[in-house]
Structure 1
Amino acid sequence: MSQPQTLGNGQNTSWEKFWYVLGCIYFGAYYLSKVPAKKALSEYGLVEMTSAEKFWYVVLCIFVGLGYFNKVIMKRALSEVRFAAPQAFAAPAGQPPYGA
């Protein structure tokens, strides 16, 4: 079972780090898969994209809209997050409950 994480404080296991690096080496597939998700997060004001990420997002959009359509999926998931009941999430030890 995975541990709950907070935005900005998430941690990857050593295996997740290994597979991400391996996926990036293989034609940059993991990196290019991350770009549309990061674009969606940037539109919510949660992250800033680097100039390289902005460039690759445009390239992905030109390539049959791949970047745009993947971003739409991520934005849909993010739009559902704000409707989650605050009681459904436990606060980390020593912190007040979410929504309090």
Structure 2
Amino acid sequence: MNVMAERQHLGQGTTTSWEKFWYILGCIYLGAAYFQKVPVKKALSEYGLVEMTSAEKFWYVVQCILFGFGYFAKVTIKKALSEVRSPAGFPTA
């Protein structure tokens, strides 16, 4: 099975029907998918790419209080983001 994804751009990406299905299923299962998304959004927000909702900010703090889970998850994500190469013509700081 050849699973070749189309190239997507930040802010213009799409999800397939199956990705939407599995995300919803993951959220139903004790909010697991949602709680995994929160540290990712925190890392992206620190790069100025997204804004977190007040609910996401709340759950991020809760995750940080619980053995630092949210913080340690964010650190790994920020490390990966710091290694992203900018495409030609894309402004960098």
| Counterpart AA for 2:58 | F
The alignment partner of 2:5 has SS state of coil
Provide the residue aligned with 2:89 in structure 1.
Answer: 99
Provide the residue aligned with 2:32 in structure 1.
Answer: 29
The alignment partner of 1:33 has SS state of helix
Provide the residue aligned with 1:13 in structure 2.
Answer: 16
In structure 2, distance between residues paired with 1:13 and 1:65: 32
CA deviation after TM superposition for structure 1 residue 69, in Å: 0.2
Alignment of 1:79-90 (within 5 A): 79-81=82-84, 84=85, 86=87
Stretches (4+) displaced over 6 A:
none
In structure 2, distance between residues paired with 1:69 and 1:27: 21
| Counterpart AA for 1:99 | G
RMSD: 1.3
Provide the residue aligned with 1:48 in structure 2.
Answer: 51
Q: Structure 2: which 5+ residue stretches go unaligned?
A: none
Calculate percent identity across the aligned residue pairs: 71
Provide the residue aligned with 2:63 in structure 1.
Answer: 60
Larger Rg: 1
What TM-score do you get using the length of structure 1 for normalisation?
A: 0.83
In structure 2, distance between residues paired with 1:22 and 1:46: 26
Aligned positions, number = 87
